[in-house]
Structure 1
Amino acid sequence: MTQAFDAAAQQALLETRAQMALELARRLGADACEVGASVDQGVGVSVREGEVETVELSRDQGIAVTVYLGSRKGSASSTDAGEASIRAVVEKAIAIARHTGEDPAAGLADAELMATELPDLDVHHPWPLSTEEAIELALACESAGRQRPGIRSSDGASLSSGEGVRVYANSHGFLGSQRGSRHSLSCMLIAGDEGGMQRDYDYSSARNPRDLLAPEKVGESAAERTLRRLGARRPATGRMPVLFDPTLASGLVGSLMGAIAGGALYRQASFLCDRLGEPLFPEWFSLQERPMEVGAMASSPFDGDGVQTRDNVFIENGRLASYMLSAYSARRLGMQTTGNAGGARNLRIEAPLASREELLARMGCGVLVTELMGQGVNAVTGDYSRGAAGFWVENGEIQYPVEEFTIAGNLEAMFKGLSGIGSDTDTRGSIHTGSWLIGEMTVAGG
């Protein structure tokens, strides 16, 4: 069994250590300082073919200190949050700052922007799970999938459960801390017929272990997804509609957020530079961030700068309404932070939704993509090209599985060509979305 994790005690200890680092930096001459500290503990097990493959008990901690000498910045970190280590980290950060160049944008976020509302967002749900219990759950998951006719073997099932505490403090007097947990269960299976072998997987993930799918359901779903890929062939080549499965549609949202992130914008490394207010999507599409959503996967009342998080609207009625900015990137761009140091938290789409069947009928003939390979997204130009697998669709009906083809387009054209959002919303991550139907892309098959 894992060593007991006293989250309250760990939180109090990290808060004390963070304040210790701030006071030491002040005494050593820093004009400003910020500290991030965390500790995480978890258990992870994996099984394969009915046998235990790995058991991992983890405990990680760290502290990072950034000091400012005027507009000079120095950062240092350590995996040891002990008192001696903290002093060494602070001294190293100050030594680095003395030798760095001046950066007018460097510094803490403005004091008046610090978070003052720090509610409990219900993101900490420990799971008192022994390694024996974790193994039993993983074995049950794999067994349920392996029992399906047509499944030849297993690539394994795994379960992970972890909780932790993170603390952020700075010399404005801000101190914020949050406890959190995350649990997941997954299974990958292999099926085969005279045409060859196929593999696929499924998983369940949640803050609260009670929200996980039953192990048997995860295994059965993994088997179903694997079996339906048997008999795959290459699709025809041409320009046609493409329907992205929800698990992949979230990646399109991620590409959008990367393009409107402050770091990409001030480096002129985005195809969406200087595009605020311009139409990018159909008018019926809006995209919002809800960081204070209770119990969600990425909820937090403060960002990585200590700034109060808030609901943001990034796409409003199809138009680019806001960039995603930290205090530093905002200064580089002559703008105001959006409370997004560390990224976006809980992205939600507002749009009319259609069933999977409606979207297939709307596309007529094309491909439903359920797997993507490679990293073929150019953030500077928006060009998009990925290897893919999925299903061929004719007359609005799935005909057979397809593989070994590529889909290509340009993100801006794909966004403008979005013709439908599915009601099959995937809620397992911080981006909630259903399937995306893109009106036309280039498909290169056999």
Structure 2
Amino acid sequence: MTQAFDAASQQALLESRVQAALEQAQRLGADACEVGASVDQGIEVSVRLGEVESVELSRDQGIAVTVYVGQRKGSASSSDAGEASVRSAVEQAMSIARYTGEDPAAGLAPPELMAREIPDLDVHHPWRLSTDEAIELALDCENAGRRVSGISNSDGANLSSGEGVRVYGNSHGFLGSQCGSRHSLSCMLIAEDASGMQRDYDYTSERDPRRLARAEDIGVLAAERALRRLGARRPITGRFPVMFDPALASGLVGHLMSAIAGGALYRQASFLCDRLGEPLFPEWFSLGEKPRERGAMASAPFDNDGVYTRDNVFIDQGRLASYMLSAYSARRLGMETTGNAGGARNIRLQAPLTPRQELLAKMPRGVLVTELMGQGVNGVTGDYSRGAAGFWVENGEILYPVEEFTIAGSLQAMFAGLVGVGDDIDTRGSIHSGSWLIDEMTVAGS
């Protein structure tokens, strides 16, 4: 059984370590300081073909210190949050700051933007799971899938459960903390017939283990997904509509968020530089974040600068309404922070949702993409080219699986050519989205 994790005592301990580091930095002559500390504990179990492959019990901790001497910055970190390590990290950060060049944008976020309230966002749900119970769940998942006719092999099932504490403090007097948990179960299976072998997977992931999908259902869905891919062939080459499965549509949202991130913008490494206010999507499409949504996967009351989080709208009726900025990137751009140090939290779409079958009906000929391969996305130019697998669609009907083809276009054209968003919303991650139908892309197959 995993060792009990006393979140309250760990939180109190880390807060005392952070406060001690801030006081030491002040004594050593820092004009400002910020400190982040964390501790995580979890269990991960992997099984394959009915046997236990691995059991890992983990406990990780760390502390990161950043000091500012004038506009010189020094940072140091340690994987040990003990008192001696904390003192050493502060001393090293101070030493580094004396040798770095001045950066006019360096410094803490404005004190008036610090989070004044730290609400309970319902993100901490411990799972008192013994090792034997974890193994049993993973085996139940895999065995359910292996019992499906046509499944010949398995890449295994994996169960992961963890919880942790995060603390951040700075010399404005801000000290905030949050406890959180994350649990998941996945399975990947291999189907085989005369045409060859295919693999696919399914998974479930939640803050609260009571909301996880049944282990047996995950195994069966993984088996069904693998079986549907048997007999895959290469599609013809041409310009066709392309529909992205929900998990892959979330990836397209991720590319958008990377392009509006402050770090990419001030480096002039984004195809969306200087595009505020311009139309990117159809007018019916909006997108924003809800960082204080209760129980959600990425909820947090403050960002990595200690700035209070708030609902932000990034795409408003098709137009780019806001960038995603930390205090540092905002200064580099001559703008104000949006409370996004550490990224966006809980991306939500606002768009009319179309039943999946109705989206398919808009495709006289095209592909439904269920898997992407490779890293062919250029954030500077927006060029997009990925290896893909999925299904060939004609007159709204899925005819057969396809593989070994490439889809290509540009993110600008793909966003502008969004035809509809499906009602098959995938809520397993921090980005909630249904399928996306893009009007036209280049499909390179046979």
Q: CA deviation at 1:364?
A: 2.0
Q: Which runs of structure 2 are paired with 1:174-189 in the superposition (5 Å)?
A: 174-189=174-189
Residues 268-291 of structure 1 show CA distances to partners (whole Å, capped at 9, x for unaligned) of 000000000000000000001000
Aligned counterpart, 2:284: 284
Aligned counterpart, 1:120: 120
Aligned counterpart, 1:319: 319
Aligned counterpart, 2:25: 25
Cα distance in 2 for partners of 1:86, 1:417 equals 52
Cα distance in 1 for partners of 2:250, 2:363 equals 20
Cα distance in 2 for partners of 1:154, 1:419 equals 37
Residues 197-230 of structure 1 show CA distances to partners (whole Å, capped at 9, x for unaligned) of 1000000000000000000000000000000000
Cα distance in 2 for partners of 1:117, 1:231 equals 56
* Residues matched between the structures, number: 446
Q: Which runs of structure 2 are paired with 1:227-266 in the superposition (5 Å)?
A: 227-266=227-266
1:386 aligns with 2:386: yes
Cα distance in 2 for partners of 1:192, 1:214 equals 25
Aligned counterpart, 1:405: 405
> Identity across aligned pairs (percent)?
80
SS in 2 for 1:363: coil
Residues 27-81 of structure 1 show CA distances to partners (whole Å, capped at 9, x for unaligned) of 0000000000000000000000000000000000000000000000000000111
Q: CA deviation at 1:316?
A: 0.2
Amino acid at match of 1:371: E
SS in 2 for 1:323: coil
Aligned counterpart, 1:270: 270
Aligned counterpart, 2:344: 344
Amino acid at match of 2:138: A
Aligned counterpart, 2:203: 203
Q: CA deviation at 1:117?
A: 1.8
Residues 335-368 of structure 1 show CA distances to partners (whole Å, capped at 9, x for unaligned) of 0000000000000000000011000001221000
Aligned counterpart, 1:437: 437
Aligned counterpart, 1:226: 226
Q: CA deviation at 1:18?
A: 0.2
Residues 168-220 of structure 1 show CA distances to partners (whole Å, capped at 9, x for unaligned) of 00000000000000000000000111111100000000000000000000000
Cα distance in 1 for partners of 2:413, 2:27 equals 55
Cα distance in 2 for partners of 1:252, 1:5 equals 37
Aligned counterpart, 1:165: 165
Aligned counterpart, 2:414: 414
Instruction: List structure 1 segments (4+ residues) > 3 angstroms apart after TM superposition.
Output: none
Cα distance in 2 for partners of 1:391, 1:117 equals 49
SS in 2 for 1:413: helix
Aligned counterpart, 1:212: 212
Q: CA deviation at 1:83?
A: 1.0
Cα distance in 1 for partners of 2:181, 2:363 equals 40
1:423 aligns with 2:415: no
Q: CA deviation at 1:405?
A: 0.1
SS in 2 for 1:140: helix
SS in 2 for 1:139: helix
Cα distance in 1 for partners of 2:109, 2:416 equals 35
Cα distance in 2 for partners of 1:389, 1:97 equals 50
Cα distance in 1 for partners of 2:11, 2:102 equals 35
Cα distance in 1 for partners of 2:85, 2:400 equals 60
Q: Which runs of structure 2 are paired with 1:36-185 in the superposition (5 Å)?
A: 36-185=36-185
Cα distance in 2 for partners of 1:81, 1:210 equals 32
Cα distance in 1 for partners of 2:412, 2:363 equals 20
Amino acid at match of 1:282: P
Amino acid at match of 2:156: G
Amino acid at match of 2:35: V
Aligned counterpart, 1:368: 368
Cα distance in 2 for partners of 1:395, 1:282 equals 24
Q: CA deviation at 1:123?
A: 0.0
RMSD of the TM alignment (CA)?
0.4
The TM-score, its normalising length taken from structure 2, stands at: 1.00
Cα distance in 1 for partners of 2:367, 2:36 equals 46
Residues 278-307 of structure 1 show CA distances to partners (whole Å, capped at 9, x for unaligned) of 000000000010001000000001000000
Q: CA deviation at 1:414?
A: 0.3
Residues 387-431 of structure 1 show CA distances to partners (whole Å, capped at 9, x for unaligned) of 000000001100000000000000000000000000000000000
Aligned counterpart, 1:297: 297
SS in 2 for 1:9: helix
Cα distance in 2 for partners of 1:236, 1:86 equals 60
Amino acid at match of 1:243: M
The TM-score, its normalising length taken from structure 1, stands at: 1.00
Q: CA deviation at 1:146?
A: 0.1
Cα distance in 1 for partners of 2:390, 2:33 equals 51
Q: Which runs of structure 2 are paired with 1:11-22 in the superposition (5 Å)?
A: 11-22=11-22
SS in 1 for 2:323: coil
Q: CA deviation at 1:260?
A: 0.3
Cα distance in 1 for partners of 2:394, 2:152 equals 30
Cα distance in 2 for partners of 1:255, 1:419 equals 18
SS in 1 for 2:362: helix
Residues 137-157 of structure 1 show CA distances to partners (whole Å, capped at 9, x for unaligned) of 000000000000000011100
SS in 2 for 1:315: strand
Structure 2 residue runs of 5 or longer lacking an equivalent are none
Structure 1 residue runs of 5 or longer lacking an equivalent are none
Cα distance in 2 for partners of 1:209, 1:243 equals 32
SS in 2 for 1:305: coil
Amino acid at match of 2:334: G
Aligned counterpart, 2:359: 359
